[in-house]
Amino acid sequence: MAMRLLLLLFVTGHVFATEPPVDCLVVHLKYVSCSWNKQGTPGVNYTFYSRFHNDKEFLYCTDYVSENNVNVGCNVPYDKLMEKRFETYLTKLVDGSRTDQASGVPQKHNLKDKVLLAPPVNLTVKNESDSNLWFYWNQTYSNCVDSEVRFRTNNNNWETSKVSTARQSFCINLPSSNSRYEMQVRSKMGSNCGGSPNWSDWSEPVVWGSHNSTDNTQKNLISVWTPVLYVVGVITLIILVMMLLHYERLRIILIPVVPKPSLNHRDMENWFQSSKGLNFEDFKANYNERACPVREYCQVSQSDSESSGGSTCSVTTNQTDCSVSIPVNESEDVSTPCSTSTSSITDSSEKELHISV
């Protein structure tokens, strides 16, 4: 009889086995993360179901967290978790070998104080006009968030300071320009929105000061990029030199244009003295020239000739004998005789005005 009872218990023992406890957190007010491996990896591959109190049906998990090919957690996304987290959250684990989800025993969870925020983002640091050092960051639902800042100077020990709710800035008064300041911040849900004791992870550090680098990774990146920058600089210099050669700029820069020599009488005199048969005086300008006689003739009409005794006027100056004929327009008034203080009247019947030089 005892052997039969033990066999019955062995066969049906899984019925009386209890499911592992489930722990749940509201992560960054985007999804509910539940896990059931707090006591170790379970020996059974469970199927997870969950719902809020006001929901009608349990939801089947679609995003499992596995460990050694065994389901140990589930992430369930929800909308409006800021309000839903105040409802009772129900979870249920069912042995994966069973298809009847009603066999699981529901577990109740209060998610109001189980909110875990993501670290703050977009950290910046500015030395404002008030000579103070200001740190700024961004966090979801800033009006409901408490923040905590830690900073250190020149890699010394961290100093921690609390920041009031809804504030997303921190000030360091009168920083030293010769010091290096490093700051990080973390957040949690404030008491005015159903506070949570769970702090987020520390944000990425932001640095200000004489040694503006956060870790050795950035230094390694700089050392890797240094030879690349050198190569790019050399290639750029070669291209510029080729362009200068192509447009003949380099020749103009290296070999400047020889200026045009000016005339120096003293050098010319020395040249003429060294050259036989040349006289420098013969190359000088001579402005003494002989006077050139100029004779001007005017023609008058016969009537005017009779009234004036048939005379024409001429002007003679003492010049060289070179002559030029200039025709006179018949329509012009030629009735007026020309005369000068040195002119002589002669008879003429020509119809052109002659100028003798």
pLDDT score, position 273: 58
Task: Report the chain's mean pLDDT, rounded to a whole number.
Answer: 74
pLDDT score, position 185: 96
Q: For the chain, how big is the Rg over CA atoms in Å?
A: 57
Q: pLDDT per residue over 312-357, tens digit each? A: 444 444 444 444 444 444 444 434 443 333 333 344 444 443 433 3
Which is more confident, 134 or 248? 134
**Residue 149: pLDDT over 50:** yes
Whats the size of the chain, residue-wise? 357
Least confident of 82-86, 188-192, 296-300, 320-324: 320-324
Do residues 226 and 218 make contact, with C-beta atoms less than 8 angstroms apart?
Answer: no
pLDDT score, position 26: 94
pLDDT band at 244 (very low <50, low <70, confident <90, very high): confident
pLDDT score, position 199: 95
Least confident of 78-87, 94-103, 223-232: 94-103
pLDDT score, position 294: 65
Q: pLDDT per residue over 176-214, tens digit each? A: 888 899 999 999 999 888 889 999 999 999 999 865 544
Backbone angles phi, psi at 302, to 5 degrees: -70, -35
pLDDT band at 35 (very low <50, low <70, confident <90, very high): very high
pTM of the entire structure?
0.53
Looking at residues 62-75, what average pLDDT do you find? Answer: 92
Q: What percent of the chain has pLDDT over 90?
A: 33
Which is more confident, 24 or 347? 24
Q: How many whole angstroms separate alpha carbon 123 and alpha carbon 137?
A: 4
3-state secondary structure the chain: CHHHHHHHHHHCHHHHCCCCCCEEEEECCCEEEEECCCCCCCCCCEEEEEEECCCCCCEECCCEEEECCEEEEEEEECCCHHHHCCCEEEEEEEECCCCCHHHCCCEEEECCCCEECCCCEEEEEEECCCCCEEEEEECCCHHHEEEEEEEEECCCCCEEEEECCCCCEEEECCCCCCCEEEEEEEEEECHHHCCCCCCCCCCCCEEEECCCCCCHHHHHHHHHHHHHHHHHHHHHHHHHHHHHHHCCHHHHHHCCCCCCCCCCHHHHHHHHHHCCCCCHHHHCCCCCCCCECCEEECCCCHHHHHHCCCCEEEEECCECCCEEEECCCCCCCCCCCCCCCCEEEECCCCCCEEEEC
pLDDT score, position 96: 75
pLDDT score, position 318: 46
Looking at residues 236-259, what average pLDDT do you find? Answer: 72
pLDDT score, position 268: 59
Looking at residues 99-104, what average pLDDT do you find? Answer: 63
Least confident of 40-49, 222-231, 252-261, 345-354: 345-354
Q: Please, what are the domains in the chain?
A: 12-115 (2.60.40.10), 117-216 (2.60.40.10), 295-356 (no CATH)
Which residue's entry shows tokens 């491996």? 37
**Residue 297: pLDDT over 80:** no
**Residue 222: pLDDT over 80:** no
Q: How many whole angstroms separate alpha carbon 305 and alpha carbon 334?
A: 11
